[in-house]
Structure 1
Amino acid sequence: MKKLSFLALPILLLLNCKSEGQELEGHIGRPDISPDGTKIVFIYARDASKDVWEIYSADIDGKNVRQLTTFPEARIKKGPVWSPDGQSILFHADIEDGAQIFIMGANGENLYQLTQLPGYNVEPIWSPTGGEIIFNSILEQGKAKMFIMDRDGSRIRELYNPEGENWYPRKLKGDKILFTSDFKQRDTHNVFSMNSDGSDIRQLTFLEGINWFPEISPNMDKIVFNSNKDDPELRDSGNYNLYIMNTDGSGMERITNLPGQELHAKWHPDGDKLVFEWHDPTSKGLYLLELSTGNIRKIRLIP
């Protein structure tokens, strides 16, 4: 594990602004909720095409926004996720000619690089106990494969990978893995489950288009994911909505129908709320959805 010398939906300039009540503006996305439900972590860049994307945290109501990383060597950082004990945050960042996985404390301290592998090593996620980390690795001109390692970056090993592109693995109870794949399909990604040795592969969704970023509920009885199945042209850059289903793929229903893209939903520990990223030409930011009522409200990020 390599310790770095770097110092650890709006820009630092805005965070230093003395006037309170000015809502952050810019590209805000990839949220996650702390295990106690009181905080969120997310990525931010005022101009996604020009600025360095850094990782920020805030209270769940959007107050007390704080920048956690100052890491200009990697222009893009994505996928911050809280550890089950709330003490650490994983993320991936572009570095040199690829991407690597990093870990830091919940306040941005003690930044370490966990992987030093060739290619792009991205989308880390914790196992339910926090003892292991699952992630994707892509060699140059290769396919996305699923890997697992111990919490400290040791014992890196490849999981079973069906033929095709296998994305966003999540470890469930016992030996079960949840992931998305184009396995036995063409121009389509659906949600699958399997045992980590590749046995008992089950396709959970049978939808057109791109259906990915599956996230299991705290009680491990529901899965939320985003899908572009409702986009007339099934465009990767087109319309995405959030769907929810039982863990066996039954009971599927659409839970958002907003213009633009609803993406990267994460569960609140109470199991009744989701925080997600929504953006279209007129609206960008993080939103909170209450499943029992269907109410959606914007999380106004205020320095």
Structure 2
Amino acid sequence: MKKRLFLALSTLLLLNCKSERQELEGHIGRPDISPDGTKIVFIYAKDTSKDVWEIYSANIDGKNVRQLTTFPEARIKKGPVWSPDGESILFHADIEDGSQIFTISANGENLNQLTQLPGYNVEPTWSHMGNEIIFNSILEHGKTKIYIMDKKGSRIRELYNPDGENWYPRKIIGDKILFTSDFKQRGTYNIFQMDSNGSDFRQLTFLEGINWFPEISPAMDKIVFHSNRDDPKLSDSGNYNLYLMNTDGTEVERITNLPGQELHAKWHPDGDKLIFEWHDPTSKGLYLLELSTGAVHKIRLVP
């Protein structure tokens, strides 16, 4: 009896230790939420100086972590985005002498390279209906421009690009495009909107520093973005917070004030929650922000 009790207690202790060890540690970022709100996708590398960055999925509560890509020839993969139908995931990967755009099925099968273009082809996102993909393309020593193609990677074409570096395009509805640019503002990046041919060109934010990664809400009435306006340096380092504003650029409001960097926010389909990555010396990982209460919860990623 004592022996059985000892074995049971030992097994329980080992299971508890295993459970504690299983939570992912390292660089975790660039999250997105599935269209039905039940799953997330993200990038992960235990040691960013040595390991290949792969794409993982998990339940929205962080359970059932699963590696989707095993793609060692592309050391860094970024920007995974669920398709509107939830069937596939779009991302870019550094390969050979540049970056190319890929899709993979949500279950990790059917890896498909969509672009074979010179330079760096990065930050792809789906159009609202999922029939097109809009992305950035950067030729060597060239400016960052906005391109678009159909969902199979054909009919690639350059859209209107104002003079400057034009980042993070989102085709939000119809022909409207949301993006970040340093247009006539060297050293400062603000958020703009236009039609794909350059008409109805409007600057939405007039803030110092870097204002990046705009994402429109499911109801199409709010835009979230991250900004270092309180520590305005042309750098990826420093303090970044999340901000919310109306789609016309009015009522800009800071919604996080954590130490370090709150980055790459994405909307939950219910429109009342955001998932984001938070980095500071003591906290690294994915977090969920409830807009109605301001509560922030860590998503503990456990296989």
TM-score of the aligned structures, taking structure 2 as reference length: 0.93
Asked if residue 19 in structure 1 is aligned to residue 18 in structure 2, the reply is yes
CA contact (8 A) 2:53 2:76 kept: yes
Please list every run of at least 4 consecutive aligned residues from structure 1 whose deviation after the TM superposition is greater than 6 angstroms: none
In the TM superposition, what are the counterparts of 1:35-50 in structure 2 within 5 Å?
Answer: 35-50=35-50
**Which residue is equivalent to 2:102?**
102
Letter in 2 for 1:147: Y
Letter in 2 for 1:19: K
1:19, distance to aligned residue in structure 2 (A):
2.4
1:24, distance to aligned residue in structure 2 (A):
1.0
Asked if residue 239 in structure 1 is aligned to residue 278 in structure 2, the reply is no
Task: Give the distance between the partners of 1:232 and 1:216, measured in 2 at CA.
Answer: 23
CA contact (8 A) 2:209 2:232 kept: no
Task: Give the distance between the partners of 2:231 and 2:298, measured in 1 at CA.
Answer: 24
Task: Give the distance between the partners of 2:111 and 2:232, measured in 1 at CA.
Answer: 43
Letter in 2 for 1:20: S
Higher RCO (C-alpha under 8 Å, 6+ residues apart): 1
**Which residue is equivalent to 2:55?**
55
**Which stretches in structure 1 are left out of the alignment for 5+ residues?**
1-17
Asked if residue 189 in structure 1 is aligned to residue 182 in structure 2, the reply is no
Letter in 2 for 1:289: L
Task: Give the distance between the partners of 1:236 and 1:37, measured in 2 at CA.
Answer: 30
CA contact (8 A) 2:210 2:232 kept: no
Asked if residue 122 in structure 1 is aligned to residue 122 in structure 2, the reply is yes
CA RMSD of aligned residues (A): 1.2
1:289, distance to aligned residue in structure 2 (A):
0.1
Letter in 1 for 2:285: G
Letter in 2 for 1:120: Y
Task: Give the distance between the partners of 2:163 and 2:206, measured in 1 at CA.
Answer: 18
Asked if residue 178 in structure 1 is aligned to residue 178 in structure 2, the reply is yes
CA contact (8 A) 2:187 2:234 kept: no
**Which residue is equivalent to 1:208?**
208
CA contact (8 A) 2:226 2:264 kept: yes
CA contact (8 A) 1:128 1:172 kept: yes
What secondary structure, in the 3-state scheme, does the structure 1 residue paired with 2:173 have?
coil
Question: For residues 61 and 170 of structure 1, do their structure 2 counterparts lie closer, same or farther at Cα, with a shift above 3 Å needed?
Answer: same
**Which stretches in structure 2 are left out of the alignment for 5+ residues?**
1-16
CA contact (8 A) 1:63 1:301 kept: yes
**Which residue is equivalent to 1:294?**
294
Letter in 1 for 2:259: P
Question: For residues 198 and 232 of structure 1, do their structure 2 counterparts lie closer, same or farther at Cα, with a shift above 3 Å needed?
Answer: closer
What secondary structure, in the 3-state scheme, does the structure 1 residue paired with 2:198 have?
coil
Task: Give the distance between the partners of 2:81 and 2:297, measured in 1 at CA.
Answer: 22
1:234, distance to aligned residue in structure 2 (A):
5.8
**Which residue is equivalent to 1:162?**
162
CA contact (8 A) 1:238 1:261 kept: yes
TM-score of the aligned structures, taking structure 1 as reference length: 0.93
Spell out, residue by residue over 1:252-303, the C-alpha distance to the aligned partner (whole angstroms, 9 max, x if none).
Answer: 1000000000000000000000000000111100000000000000000011
Task: Give the distance between the partners of 1:146 and 1:234, measured in 2 at CA.
Answer: 21
Question: For residues 169 and 233 of structure 1, do their structure 2 counterparts lie closer, same or farther at Cα, with a shift above 3 Å needed?
Answer: closer
Higher helix proportion: 2
Asked if residue 78 in structure 1 is aligned to residue 78 in structure 2, the reply is yes
Asked if residue 219 in structure 1 is aligned to residue 219 in structure 2, the reply is yes
CA contact (8 A) 2:146 2:159 kept: yes
Percent identity, aligned pairs only, is 83
Bigger mean CA deviation after superposition, 18-27 or 169-178? 18-27
What secondary structure, in the 3-state scheme, does the structure 2 residue paired with 1:136 have?
strand
Larger radius of gyration: 2
Spell out, residue by residue over 1:200-233, the C-alpha distance to the aligned partner (whole angstroms, 9 max, x if none).
Answer: 1110000010001000000111000000111165
Bigger mean CA deviation after superposition, 29-38 or 227-236? 227-236
Letter in 1 for 2:147: F
Letter in 1 for 2:19: E
